[in-house]
Structure 1
Amino acid sequence: MCDISNLIYVCVSTCIMLIVVSVCVYSQAAYLQKGGLKTAVLERRHVLGGAAVSEEIIPGFHFSRCSYLLSLLRPHIFRDLELKKHGLKLYMRDPHAFTPMLEGGVGGLPPRSLLLGSDLAMNQREIGKFSETDAKAYPEFITHLDKLAVAIHPLLDSPPVDIAGLTGGALRRRIAALRSALPLVQCGLKLGKNIPDFYEIITAPIMKILNRWFESEPLKATLATDAVIGAMTSPNSPGSGYVLLHHVMGELEKEKGAWGYVEGGMGGVSKAIASSARSHGADIFTEQDVHQVLVGSDGSAKGVVLKDGTEIYSRVVLSNATPYVTFKTLTPQSALSPAFIKAVDQIDYTSPVTKINGTTLIISTLDPHKCIQVHIPHTHSLTHSHSSFSLPYRPMIEMTIPSVLDPTLAPPGSHVVLLFTQFTPYSLVGGRAWTDQDREAFADSVFSWIEQYAPGFKSSIVGKDILTPPDLERIFGLTGGNIFHGAMSLDQLYLARPLPSLSDYRSPIKGLYLCGSGSHPGGGVMGSPGWNAALAAMADLKRG
């Protein structure tokens, strides 16, 4: 037994791509340590970072094994924790999207492609190859989308409105609840006359919006990809517009909507934040598998017990695990009401994602600088029957080759290839579990599709790591393999994330908080769920 901290973070290694994992935890540890609280972080795996990790799965090759791009990390967290001082180095992704076509070009020319980057004039020239009308509309569309994305920034760095406080309780609580509505007011003021447009994009199918703006399929398919990333949905489904907005609301190096790569892989983010936390005195422990949250006779959290039986006492426990793992695995069921447990069971964790990490020799059939981010979407692949248990005939593929920019990832003459694919179910036809043969067959189909665009690609692969939804769950603690700790659907956002009773990060167990991507504002290497949970925990500790 030991009593080592005021506050414990439980990291069950959760999350991928555009999701905070232990990043939330390490940033909280730094903030709370700075605030005078002794903190300890308990990481289940041997490597820091949950799903924002770098791993040498194949000797000499370093993979961003799950999450692989950075953009959503909140600027104030980046600054406050002095991440560059603690070793974070970035490579900007520019151009940011290359969409090759299989169809023959005009007049016997080679197949066309669409290349998009930070140069607006270049983008218009590229789009003009398919539609001059779309080329003219594109700048206005980007400006419009940026206005909507920037307007919701006040909502990211604060908890949702305290509805219970506004509608009941003492006068003091009602006044505090009024303050909680301020970010919502700020959002509304920023939106102004764009409020109807904002309502539409968070509720409508993204194709309804894209069809109004554009006519060319290559452009619409490229843009629609970000509306289904990580979601078991199609661009024709209501709410897919918000998924797109979620993916464009970040910034990197003060460039709005920009994405980039971290030197050494995404583990560089986790290491930098952990270094910042340690510099303020936080303790971080790996290979410490938490078995259960300790709940006292008064119904409040008292610490945790590890799998080896060690009990660690603490005034507060913050769980970065998914809500399901937190309340169905780590919390004694006798401490929770049957109604609450039933509600937790209803949270949607459906995921379409399989991540394939590969090693390859130099690819000569494609310009490697265009391979920094390759989209191979198609109307069929984006609208695949996502309720099906069958594997997609033509998967949606987002391919990145970060070693083009970062030579630390692979030996000279070789590259790491990261393939983010959809739509793969958790269980196959008949509820059958994935086998190694299924994994190999799916990876082979993905490589075969890329081969059509880049002859020689398939034979260049010399090693691979295939992570299906069950693998993401088993290795990284992602319930259902969901990279966002729960679907980013309209019924699981803001006041309802992950449940209406949990939207303020506080659980039914006093002193136990949620701090992962299952909480508002959701998935992505963002830090906001952790920041907001830290504020809630500190406020409660001050009140006693």
Structure 2
Amino acid sequence: MPSRYDAIIIGAGHNGLVTAAYLAKAGRRVLVLERREILGGCCITEEVWPGYKVSSAAYVNSLLRPEIIRDLELKKYGFEMIPRSPSSFTPFPDGRYLMMGPDKEITHREIAKFSPRDAEQYPKYEAMLTRVADFLEPMLVQTPPDPFAGLGNLWELGKLGYRFRGMGRNAAAEAVEVLTGAATPILDRWFESQQLKATLATDAVIGAFAPPSHPGTAYVLFHHVMGECDGVRGVWGYVRGGMGTISNSIASAAKRHGAEIRPNSPVARILVKDGRATGVALQDGTEFHASAVASCADANVTFLKLMDAKDLPADFVASVKTIDYSSATVKINVALSEPPRFSCLPTAGVGPQHHGTMHVCPDLDYIERAYDDAKYGKPAANPILECTMATALDATLAPAGKHILSMFVQYAPYTLKGTTWDAERDKFADRCFDILNEYAPNFKRSVIDRRIYAPPDMEREWGITGGNIMQGAMSLSNLFSFRPVAGFANYRTPIAGLYLCGAAAHPGGGVMGAAGWNAAREMLRDGR
């Protein structure tokens, strides 16, 4: 095996694989080094139990850039989306339920059960978010300009300002509020129904250690109208075969263009000489050399664990140390003998209520109280549950008649006060199961097996600092020209030839592939 390459990619997360595929397609000799035996980072499918193919971490898709699907011909390699309809189901303690999207007539009828006024308002609300998304979405595949650098950057900022002005005063004000504000005031202004507001608010806090009343949470709201599923905008879906199909299809495209991918190859050190990256060393001492190295790991891992601080400017290291990796998310994957049978919709077998995300979150105060527990170092006594059952639409994932439930839970902090996750992990999962059982009384007896990932487990398993699924907070101070830190948002680093290509860079978390694509473009622009 050769030891010299044009580019080395650290980590085979989906972004790293995208970077590798684009570089290889451009004729570069590329090596991808992945510490685990499986490719994909947090975008994986694992056979956790015999016959059960589980999307262990990420579980739904919409944001994967259509340009990447097209350019890399991912459908040739097995990538296939399954749209979800309905997309959302929320049962309530009083025996009612709310089922939403993407069918507009169904959504209108369902919201009207709780508030005819809200049913009329909802399309206008979505139109507002779409206006914001139309402005922001092109920025996802743009290299952020540095406002403190040369004239070219100022020109790019000027073009951005011109586009912003073109939105008009009212739409621009909406965009600023969505970018910087809290979700709760926006939802309160648009709607009166607690049931609708609670359902929508869960979209604002997904993966964040913040309640919807905190500034910055509104930014995530507009994501549900972004992306697409088979060309239909704003529709989220499952990936046939699980989320790992995304990573595997990108890896196949990269290999087709000549990239070499090595699993079970943990990088121990990025090699630097005279201020330039020269390659990497594995934990077993093996060295590989290249004129360019791109890290798909987060900034903490890349700069503070894989590098010697003396090779980096002190002010840069200080800035990296300020990145917020707070996490309050637990992921529980469950094998079931039958679907949850909700008391409010007690049909046997798979029904429309199982197609999309099943929310257990009765009102906004419920979210705030759950956050309050975590704020003081405790797992929420009454956590928010977001459950999906991909087997409702993809029977290839489990044995006949059996199902997989993905439970995404908030809030539960990385560090617990007065106890440890080893002591609390199963107790917290039991509490989550008790809550779901209150709405679907057959749930607990249908459980065959489960696997629980608390924030420290996510860090250990998937290499994400603090268990933060976004590789760092997605607040305004950590976005666009300030991600990962000010002055280094263009995928380059203080070390010549060293790049970031994962969610630590713009545009951040989510299964988009945009960070990997953008990084590859800048590397090629540098002649790497």
Residue 496 (structure 1) aligned to one of 472, 482, 485: 482
1:189 to partner: Cα distance: 3.1
1:363 to partner: Cα distance: 2.7
Matching of residues 345-384 of structure 1 within 5 Å: 345-363=321-339, 365-366=341-342, 367=347, 368-369=350-351, 370-372=353-355, 373-378=357-362, 379-383=364-368, 384=371
The superposition leaves residues 492-529 of structure 1 with CA deviations (integer Å, 9 ceiling, x where unpaired) of 11111111032111111111111110111110000111
1:184 to partner: Cα distance: 5.6
Amino acid at match of 1:517: A
- Bigger mean CA offset, 300-309 vs 368-377: 368-377
TM-align CA RMSD: 1.6
1:199 to partner: Cα distance: 0.6
**Could you say which residue in structure 2 is the equivalent of 1:92?**
83
TM-score, length-scaled by structure 1: 0.92
Question: Is the aligned partner of 1:531 residue 2:514?
Answer: no
Could you tell me how far apart the structure 1 residues matched to 2:421 and 2:480 are?
Answer: 34
Q: Secondary structure at the match of 1:303?
A: strand
Amino acid at match of 1:532: N
| Residues 33 and 263 in structure 2, CA contact (< 8 A), matched pair in contact too | yes
**Could you say which residue in structure 2 is the equivalent of 1:392?**
380
* Structure 1 portions without partners, runs of 5+: 14-21, 104-110, 167-173
1:260 to partner: Cα distance: 0.6
Could you tell me how far apart the structure 1 residues matched to 2:64 and 2:161 are?
Answer: 21
| Residues 226 and 244 in structure 1, CA contact (< 8 A), matched pair in contact too | yes
Could you tell me how far apart the structure 2 residues matched to 1:138 and 1:89 are?
Answer: 30
| Residues 301 and 512 in structure 1, CA contact (< 8 A), matched pair in contact too | yes
**Could you say which residue in structure 1 is the equivalent of 2:124?**
140
**Could you say which residue in structure 1 is the equivalent of 2:412?**
424
Q: Secondary structure at the match of 1:6?
A: strand
Q: Secondary structure at the match of 1:127?
A: helix
Question: Is the aligned partner of 1:123 residue 2:107?
Answer: yes
Amino acid at match of 1:209: I
Amino acid at match of 1:88: F
| Residues 26 and 277 in structure 1, CA contact (< 8 A), matched pair in contact too | yes
* Structure 2 portions without partners, runs of 5+: none
Check 1:221–1:290 CA distance in 2 against 1; reply closer, same or farther (3 A cut).
Answer: same
Could you tell me how far apart the structure 2 residues matched to 1:454 and 1:348 are?
Answer: 37
Amino acid at match of 1:4: R
Kindly, what percent of the aligned residue pairs are identical? 42
Could you tell me how far apart the structure 2 residues matched to 1:176 and 1:448 are?
Answer: 54
Question: Is the aligned partner of 1:199 residue 2:176?
Answer: yes
| Residues 158 and 183 in structure 1, CA contact (< 8 A), matched pair in contact too | no
Check 1:529–1:209 CA distance in 2 against 1; reply closer, same or farther (3 A cut).
Answer: same
Could you tell me how far apart the structure 2 residues matched to 1:375 and 1:274 are?
Answer: 33
Could you tell me how far apart the structure 1 residues matched to 2:420 and 2:96 are?
Answer: 40
Amino acid at match of 1:434: W
Amino acid at match of 2:378: S
Q: Secondary structure at the match of 1:358?
A: strand
Check 1:321–1:4 CA distance in 2 against 1; reply closer, same or farther (3 A cut).
Answer: same
Residue 210 (structure 1) aligned to one of 183, 187, 196: 187
Amino acid at match of 2:407: L
Residue 135 (structure 2) aligned to one of 140, 144, 151: 151
Residue 315 (structure 2) aligned to one of 321, 339, 348: 339
Q: How many residues align?
A: 516
Check 1:124–1:340 CA distance in 2 against 1; reply closer, same or farther (3 A cut).
Answer: same
1:336 to partner: Cα distance: 1.4
The superposition leaves residues 476-505 of structure 1 with CA deviations (integer Å, 9 ceiling, x where unpaired) of 001000000001112111111111032111
Q: Secondary structure at the match of 1:416?
A: strand
Q: Secondary structure at the match of 1:452?
A: helix
Could you tell me how far apart the structure 2 residues matched to 1:6 and 1:131 are?
Answer: 60
Residue 245 (structure 1) aligned to one of 190, 202, 222: 222
Question: Is the aligned partner of 1:409 residue 2:385?
Answer: no
TM-score, length-scaled by structure 2: 0.95
| Residues 40 and 248 in structure 2, CA contact (< 8 A), matched pair in contact too | yes
| Residues 381 and 392 in structure 1, CA contact (< 8 A), matched pair in contact too | no
